Structure 1
C-alpha cells in the first residue's frame, strides 16, 4: 500500500498568510484602512487645544516628547552611539577627572552612571556638574568643533568643585555646550 505523507504548504506561504492576517487584524482594530478617505477631510497636522500635535486618527497613548540631541547626557547614556575608546563606560569618574573628584563622587561612580543620573533637577549642583561634565568630556573626544578640549573639561570640572556656586555656573556652561552641539 502506498502511504502518502500529508501535504504541507511551504514555510514561506505559511508566513505570508500569518502576516496578512495580522495586518488585517491590526487595521481593523485601529480602524486604519480608509480612515482619511471616509471622513472627507484631508490628512494634515492639527494643533489641538492642549498643545499636542497630530491628526484625528493618531495612535492613542503616545505623548509628544522633545528629541534628545546627540551630545546630551541622555544621548550618551542611551547607547545610541559607541563611546570613544579613550574613555570606556566603566571608567571611574575619579580615574578620569582626577583624585580631587573622589571626595565629591566617591571611587566607584562610573561615567555611564554619571550620565544616567536623574537626580540633578532641583538637586545638588555637584550632581548636575558631573552629569554635564561627563557628557562634555565625551563630546570633546567624539565631536569635532566642540567648544571645549578634553583637558579643558577636566580642569574646569575640578575647579568647579570648590563651591556650590562655582559648580552651578560651570554645570550651566557644560549644559549649554552640550545642548548646542551638532
Structure 2
C-alpha cells in the first residue's frame, strides 16, 4: 500500500483582538503589532478573543478599574450574569499611572491556560513588567499574552520560611 500522505497544516485559527487605549500610549504601529503577533500565539481553542486594555487612572487596584470599565463600557467582556469575565476571553491590562499589570479571563480560558492563580499567573504578570518599566506598553501587553499561553512560564518558587525558623524563634 502507498504511504499515507502527511496531514495538511491546519489553517491558523483567527483570534479576535480588541484594543482599548484610554491612556493614548499605543501608536497605530503598536496596535498593528498587537493584532498581528497575537494571532501567531498558539492559544488553546478555548481562547476566542484577546482584549488589551490600557488605563491611565492611577487607581491602585487594577482589578477594580478593569471591572468598572467592563461593566460600564464593555459589557461584552463580562458573562451574562455579570459576575465573571466572558467565556472565551483573555484580557491583558495595564495602568500606566499606577504601573500595575493584570491578566483576566473567562473561567474556560483560565482553566485551559491554568492562570486562575499560582506560579503560571505570577510568571505571566512578571513577563509584562520589564517592558512596561521601559514604557514599551505594546511589547509588555504582548509578553503577557504570550506568557499566559505558554505553560512553561512560571514564577520562581518562593523560598518561604526555613523549617527551622519557628524553633529558633519559639
Fold shared by both chains (TM-score > 0.5): no
Q: TM-score, normalised by structure 2?
A: 0.31
Q: TM-score, normalised by structure 1?
A: 0.29
Q: Which has the higher contact order (CA 8 A, sep 6+)?
A: 2
Higher helix share: 1
